[in-house]
Each structure stands twice: as structure tokens, then as C-alpha cells.
Amino acid sequence: MTAEVTGTAPQPAPACARTPVDAVVAFGANLGDRYATLAAAEREIAALGGVTDIRMSTPLESVAITPTGPDPDKPGYLNAVALVRTTLAPAALLAALHDIENANGRVREERWGDRTLDLDLIAYGDVRSAGPEMTLPHPRAHERDFVLEPWLELDPDAAVPGRGRADDLLADLRDEGAA
């Protein structure tokens, strides 16, 4: 999936980082022991070669989002965000996140379906790219309060590359919801 990128030209993702890069990873789970699953995923990411630090937000509850919108009848999600310091290239980090999802019972049967674990690479430094395997930043991060709010807990100056400051984006979402 690709996203329209505004502003400066997209920067290609490096094959590997020579110096550590800050990446943002979103966590979500709405099946099973959600707290235990998020904690296990955090430990597994921290144990990856090329990851030197991970800081995770406080988990928060959110309603399930489906292709047709929010669905309060589906099991609720537990969401969190982690800031990860890594020398892994974006594609390698994403592949490792998919491996962790699979190890935690992730099944991909339907788009935005219920899941034991969802790990999304939200941002990788200031890299902006659009391709069939990966879009950076994540194409819907700026539309998700359950990504922006926990990210701001960890980094009050957070910004979605090409979209703006996370606090402004979150305020816009809340204004839209109140209208």
C-alpha cells in the first residue's frame, strides 16, 4: 500500500544503519492474554540483534477498527508504542516484527481482522518511502489516536515524517471526533 507524500522528496531507506536510528513500533492485540502478549513482544524486540534500546508506552484500550470503521462489538484492542534504537535496516526490522507476530500466533485471514498481535513499523528516523512491501511512515499513523497518544507519552516532540507534529495531529483527530 502506498501513501501520498507531501513536502520534500522521499528519502530511500538505507540497507543498514551505520549508526543507530530511532524507530517507532506500534503494538496491538485483541485476542488472548493481551498484556502478556505485548510484554512478550517487547522482550523479543529488545532481544533482537541490532536493537540497543527499547522504551514502551503504557498500554491503552481502544475499540476495534475494521475496514468499515470502528466496531465496538468486536473484542477491544490493547495498544502501545515503543521507541526502538536499532541498526537494523527498515526491511530487516519489519521482517523481524513479522516473525515475532507469527511466533505469537498471528494469523492473517482478513484485512484488519482480530489478532493475537499486530506490530507495525510506524517510522524509521526521517525515512519516507512508498513501495509494495513497506511504506514509511506508516500510511495511517497520523489518523490513529491509539498510535499518536502513546507515542507522545514517550516523546512529547514526536512528529510523523511528512505529516507534522504528533500533538497537532492528535488534536485534529479529537476536534474531528467532537464535531
List active site positions.
106, 115, 118, 120
CA angle 21/85/95 to nearest 5° reads 85
**Pairing relationship of beta strands 77-86 and 60-62 according to DSSP bridges:** antiparallel
Separation between Cα atoms, residue 153 and residue 36, nearest integer Å: 21
50-84: b (≥16 Cβ within 10 Å) or e? bbeebebbebeebbbbeeeeeeeeeeebbbbbbbb
CB of 173 closer than 8 Å to CB of 165: no
Cis ω for the linkage preceding 137 (within 30 of 0): yes
